[in-house]
Each structure stands twice: as C-alpha cells, then as structure tokens.
Chain A
Amino acid sequence: AQTVTQSQPEMSVQEAETVTLSCTYDTSENNYYLFWYKQPPSRQMILVIRQEAYKQQNATENRFSVNFQKAAKSFSLKISDSQLGDTAMYFCAFLDTGNQFYFGTGTSLTVIP
C-alpha cells in the first residue's frame, strides 16, 4: 500500500502572496500519478493539478504549479498571487497501478485579506 503525508495541518497566506503546501509519499512503484485536490467550504472536491510520474517537467495550471521530486518522493504545490477564493482544504493524492487513490490528511489554507 502507498502512503501520503501532508505535514502541515494548517497554513495561512496574505492575499497576493505565494504559498507552498508540502506533500510526501511512499511507494515502490515507478509509474503513478499525483494530484492536488481543493475542497472549499462547499465540500465539493475539485481537481487543481495533476502530475505523471514519468514526466520530469513540473505541471502548471495558471497560478498553481508543483515541484515534483521523484527521487525524494516529494510533491509540493505552489500557489502564486493567492486569492481569497483559494481558501480551502487541500488534499494531496496518489494513484497507483491498481487504480487505487490514496489521500493525505489535508492542509487547511486560509488566505488573509
């Protein structure tokens, strides 16, 4: 089984600033996918960004980017120009070759006006 660890239960950032959320994982697999999901107060789970393990290039989606370090098994999320709407719980997730998703415990991010 895989494990996903998010060591920051809560974080805050000033509006327009940049924040980085950390995620580490443990696996013996070589091919897998990694994701960041956002869960606002509405409870809906929203995909923020995905990364394929076989791609060395870090994924980016507008203000969101990742720092994927395969050897270190690290997958951090950087949010640039933080906006009030970014306030949410963020989950790191791992998809293995058995089509199982594993989630971290989440980081609650608050953007301060």
Chain B
Amino acid sequence: GQQVMQIPQYQHVQEGEDFTTYCNSSTTLSNIQWYKQRPGGHPVFLIQLVKSGEVKKQKRLTFQFGEAKKNSSLHITATQTTDVGTYFCAGQENSGGSNYKLTFGKGTLLTVNP
C-alpha cells in the first residue's frame, strides 16, 4: 500500500533559524496536505497542494509540491516559539477510484529554543 515518509523525525532550532521538513510518497499523489499539531492539541489543517511544482506561501511558511507529485516540503523562515509543534504531511493517492483515504507521514516535531 501507499507509504508516506517524512523526515526528520525531530528538529530543534534556535529562534530565528530556518526549518524544513520533507515528505516523500511511494506513489504518485493527487494532492498533499499539511497539518500542524500543537503540544496537547489535535492536528489542524494548514494547506493543500494539488498541482505539479506548486509553491504556496503563508507568511513565513513555504510549501512545495514536487514536479513528479511524489514529494513535498514545508520550510519555515526565521522560526518563532509559536512554531513549536508537530508538522504532518498527508498524501492522497491518485488511484482513480472512489477511495480518497489520506495517508499521513509520521510527522516532524519542531522545538524552538528562545
């Protein structure tokens, strides 16, 4: 079945440093989504990428979808303590069928030292 791998598992940075997490799928995706889970909270949707090579920005966050639609990245510029949490990617396989199940990566836990 489809697998979504995410690296790194953990990342600790000093406030102001940049951060990137990477996501790779074993199969071509129809779309990829990113979620953030704050400590003690539940995952909250950040963004969805659909097009090959798509790049979207949300303030200091930049999301990319690879040309082959099998990989994606989330880059945070100049991290702040409010960025702390676990970032998950979730891919939907381009199966062409009626099963729209999302497959989540294991997430990257980001901690920021003030």
A and B together in one complex: no
B-side residues, CB < 8 A to A, are none
A-side residues, CB < 8 A to B, are none
